Chains A and B, each alone.
Chain A
Amino acid sequence: MLDADFFIRWMTVTAASVDREAERLTALDSPIGDADHGTNLQRGFRAVRDALEKEPPATPGAVLTQAGRLLISTVGGASGPLYGTLLRRTGKALGDAAEVDERQLAEALRAGVDAVMQLGGAAPGDKTMIDALVPAVDALGDSFAAARAAAEEGAVATTPLRARKGRASYLGERSVGHQDPGATSAALLIAGLVDASADGEAGSE
């Protein structure tokens, strides 16, 4: 079972990997975006990490809804409302249970991904974070490791796509040949699930 501590670890290890990868995310965002994805997400996840550290919420749902709310208010770019909606909706779907199992997390995350698709109007193949998140959620039923691999594959697979959403969509063919920064950061978020399990007590997965 996964408790609030697991979800706090998930957010904390994600904040650490966003810190570590911020420059790479911004570099990916410079040819096809406005070159702020890394710094924007870094600001948001640092705010999440600090808030969770100061006042840790008691349930998995509360951890994710608070994290989502903070991302919406601190990121400053489109990734704020998109990641914020993902985590908030996932958190709401988890309800106020003290512990949830992997299957409940997978279902809740699917609800979160659906909400992001609705908010941004994006579908798989549009060269967005959805291209990492949808395969990750599909694989989450097997294991966190399978979800991580699926998200990373999904992110890499955005490279030959032509962007149909966001600023990159204005570039048309020129968006082809660049890995999508949003799909790349989404893969970091999903990878955090594995790290949060490995850091935690044995048998939590």
Chain B
Amino acid sequence: MSDGKLVGIVLVSHSATVAASVAELAQGLAGAGTAVPVAPAGGTESGDFGTSAELIAAAAASVDRGAGVAVLTDLGSAVLTVKALLAEGDELPEHTRLVDAPFVEGAVAAVVTASTGADLAAVEAAASEAYAYRKV
């Protein structure tokens, strides 16, 4: 637990629609009344497919409640841009982590876990565990 502050979640996709929809899905499955701050950062600033460092930084700042920020990404430039921003040191809130997890399943696990007041490590672990769920 972290003093009642909830971990923030950022969802980075190449598509604004995908990021927004996964955010909506994860919040919906987390149950009514959840206060987990979730922000999508999808596509580029001009609305194209791609990744925007500015949108990611703004989303992370908007969900930071002091308990850390878990960032989930889809692929390619989304992963590389978050890693590069983390390497910058001052572009993302303190205690921001790129979480190694499948995008949709990981987002649901992260938001549900964060809604219980779990800390960043627990949110990260829950999201990563989504890889272990075999479908066949």
Size of chain B's interface in residues, with CB distance under 8 A? 17
Smallest CB gap from B51: residue in A: A76
* B76–A167 CB distance below 8 A: yes
Q: Which chain B residues border A77 with CB–CB below 8 Å?
A: 50-51, 76-77
Q: Give Cα A37 to B36, complex, Å.
A: 37
Q: Does A30 contact B (CB under 8 A)?
A: no
Q: How far is the CA of A40 from the CA of B49 in the complex (A)?
A: 12
- A side interface size, CB within 8 A: 21
- Is chain A's binding surface mostly helix, strand, loop or mixed? helix
Q: Which residue of B lies closest to A40 (CB)?
A: B50
Query: What residues of chain B lie closer than 8 Å to A73, measured between beta carbons?
Result: 53-54
> How many A-B contacts are there with CB distance less than 8 Å?
50
- In the complex where A77-B50, A77-B51, A81-B81 touch, is A72 in contact with B88 (Cβ < 8 A)? yes
Contact assessment for B84 and A78 in the assembled complex, using a CB-CB cutoff below 8 Å = no
A85 at the interface (CB under 8 A from B): yes
Q: Would you call A69 an interface residue if the criterion is a C-beta within 8 Å of the partner chain's C-beta atoms?
A: yes
Contact partner, B84, options A119, A166, A167, Cβ 8 Å: A119
Which B residue sits closest to A36, measured CB to CB? B50
Interface residues of A in 22-76 (CB under 8 A from B): 34, 36, 40, 69, 72-74, 76
A68 to chain B, nearest CB (A): 9
Contacts of A166 in B (CB 8 A): 76
- The answer to whether A119 touches B77 (Cβ under 8 A) is no
A69 to B52, CA, bound (A): 13
Q: How far is the CA of A73 from the CA of B84 in the complex (A)?
A: 10
Q: Which has the most chain A C-beta neighbours within 10 Å: B52, B76, B77, B88?
A: B77
A189 to B81, CA, bound (A): 20
Q: Which of B47-104 contact A (CB under 8 A)?
A: 48-54, 76-77, 80-81, 83-85, 87-88
Q: Does A84 reach chain B (CB closer than 8 Å)?
A: yes
Known A69-B88, A72-B88, A73-B53; judge A81-B48 contact (CB<8 A).
no
How close is B12's CB to chain A, nearest CB, in angstroms? Answer: 12
A74→B57 CA distance, assembly (Å): 13
Supply 20 A–B pairs (Cβ within 8 Å), ascending by A: A36-B50, A40-B50, A69-B88, A72-B81, A72-B84, A72-B88, A73-B53, A76-B48, A76-B51, A76-B52, A77-B51, A78-B77, A78-B80, A85-B84, A85-B87, A88-B88, A119-B80, A119-B83, A119-B87, A167-B76
